[in-house]
Amino acid sequence: MKYHVITLGCQMNLSDSERVISVLDEAGYEWTDNEEEAGLIGILACSVRQKAIDKVYSRIHKWNKWKDHKNLVTFISGCILPNDHEKFLKLFDITFQMKDLPKLPEMISRYGVTTPAQLKIGIDPHNENIERFWNVKPSYQSNYEAFIPIQNGCDKFCSFCAVPYTRGREVSRPSKDILAELALLVAQGFKSITLLGQNVNSYGLDKKGEEVTFPELLRQIGEMGKRLKKEFWVYFTSPHPRDMTDEVIEVIAQYPVLAKQIHLPMQSGDDKVLIRMNRKHNMGKYRDIVHSIRRLIPEATLFTDIIVGFTGETEEQFENTRRAMEEFKFNMSYTAMYSPRPGATSHRWDDDVSQDEKKRRLHVLTEELRKYNVPYNKSLVDKTLRVLVRGADRKEGYLSSLTEGKLIVRFASNNKDLIGQFADVKVVSASDFSLEGELVKVKEAVTQ
């Protein structure tokens, strides 16, 4: 695939774009001077000058129109003001901060785009070399947040996704290696650790009888948490509803180190769309899981993924998705407008929902999410929440943090030493998608 990057603004952005190009070249993408030839277009933006921002809007509107007749993935990074960033979230496929640049190929691959290097050599469908990747000592970008790959590949064959063809079969990493890496990270002081996999809760299914199951792996992590007597939160993403059992939810409820935040991709709230998506679950199954979560872990936050405008999605079917959002009251939804991915089954189907209609549906769901987040967030006012401080907030003089449920809480402080620390923050006000609080205390709790 060819790519094109446009750089606006100062030398700093030029320097950034050189690094972006380096990462994309290494991933096997091929530079083109002609943006019309590109399947991947990025822009290093500059919010400092209105003219530069006007150029961004002009370009992205043009590129989004191109999506009506070609496959195109767009990204934006650089110097972006918070207001612009919010708007760009709706316009670009990918927005990222430069510190996350190493993850750019991964972000692109989430859009089902395989790298040219992969296309050339084909894929290793059995992921026989995956152990080498797992055994690479990672250079962590943070000293308090880390990811542990536990599973790779996908056997689910959702019709909108090319991952089974690009990532190969589901392969589970040996649990002893996962536990060893986790223990090491905890010993080094990491506090937020995410178990990663394309279908993370399918863990162990490829090695039945030889490897522990996913709930058993979580149980062993929970027991480790008790033994180590250190405070840390363990997350996992992304699970598939088909393999989400009550046992998984029961184990999460049982152990404090297993974070009370569940990301459960729904994709659509309509059974017929789910069939076309080849999702292997229906709304009855999804509803059962959510009920189990609410019953066993009432404090858990619930995140989801939704695709709007999937091939053939009628207004009525979309309305079922909106109703599902109303019913489940997600704390966060990563909603994407459907676009066909080469290699996926649905790529052969008509992309028959117009771009304008997809945008409208995206907007409706965003408003729906806002509607249910406001009362939820307001219910947290005056409560003291445990948070992990993650860095400077975009509001001057504030730090940004996340609760165990991954809700954003900012509080007034210039003390950078707090970054990477747990703290207690009393919530004083709530907005649509974030909370504001006052620092109560900082401590290293040892209460497993």
Residues forming contacts to another protein in the complex (CB under 8 A) are 121-123, 125-126, 155, 157, 159, 165, 169, 242, 271-272, 275-276, 278, 280, 282-284, 312, 345, 348-349
Contacts of 26 (CB under 8 A, 6+ apart): none
Choice between 274 and 419, CB closer to another protein? 274
Choice between 117 and 445, CB closer to another protein? 117
Nearest distance from residue 348's CB to another protein, in Å? 7
Dihedral over Cα of 268, 270, 271, 273: its sign? negative
Structure tokens at 209: 């009888």
Structure tokens at 290: 């959510």
Phi, psi dihedral angles at 247 (to 5 degrees): -60, -40
420 by DSSP, 3-state: which?
coil
Choice between 342 and 391, CB closer to another protein? 342
Nearest distance from residue 349's CB to another protein, in Å? 7
Specify whether the CB–CB gap between 103 and 96 falls below 8 A: yes
Query: What angle separates helix 315-328 from helix 283-296, to the nearest 10 degrees?
Result: 10
Nearest distance from residue 134's CB to another protein, in Å? 20
Choice between 170 and 436, CB closer to another protein? 170
Torsion angle of C-alpha atoms 365, 367, 369, 373, degrees rounded to 10? 180
Query: H-helix or E-strand containing 391?
Result: strand 384-392
Nearest distance from residue 34's CB to another protein, in Å? 26
Nearest distance from residue 67's CB to another protein, in Å? 22
d(CA 337, CA 351): 11
Choice between 92 and 160, CB closer to another protein? 160
Nearest distance from residue 123's CB to another protein, in Å? 8
Q: Can you tell me which residue has the tokens 């090695």?
A: 207
d(CA 261, CA 246): 15
Structure tokens at 134: 């797992």
Choice between 238 and 278, CB closer to another protein? 278
Nearest distance from residue 262's CB to another protein, in Å? 22
Specify whether the CB–CB gap between 198 and 238 falls below 8 A: yes
Choice between 117 and 275, CB closer to another protein? 275
Nearest distance from residue 157's CB to another protein, in Å? 7
Specify whether the CB–CB gap between 178 and 217 falls below 8 A: yes
Nearest CA to 56 out of 29, 25, 77, 34 is that of 77
d(CA 23, CA 32): 15
107 by DSSP, 3-state: which?
helix
Nearest distance from residue 127's CB to another protein, in Å? 11
Q: Would you mind telling me the total number of residues written for the chain in this entry?
A: 448
Beta bridge partners of 362: none
Strand blocks (E) in 183-326: 192-196, 233-237, 261-263, 301-308
Query: H-helix or E-strand containing 223?
Result: helix 214-228
List % helix, strand, coil for the chain (3-state, nearest 5).
40, 25, 35
Check whether the bond before 400 is cis (ω within 30° of 0): no
Choice between 280 and 322, CB closer to another protein? 280
Dihedral over Cα of 72, 73, 79, 83: its sign? positive
56 by DSSP, 3-state: which?
helix
Choice between 191 and 276, CB closer to another protein? 276
Choice between 220 and 339, CB closer to another protein? 339
Choice between 175 and 345, CB closer to another protein? 345
Choice between 280 and 294, CB closer to another protein? 280
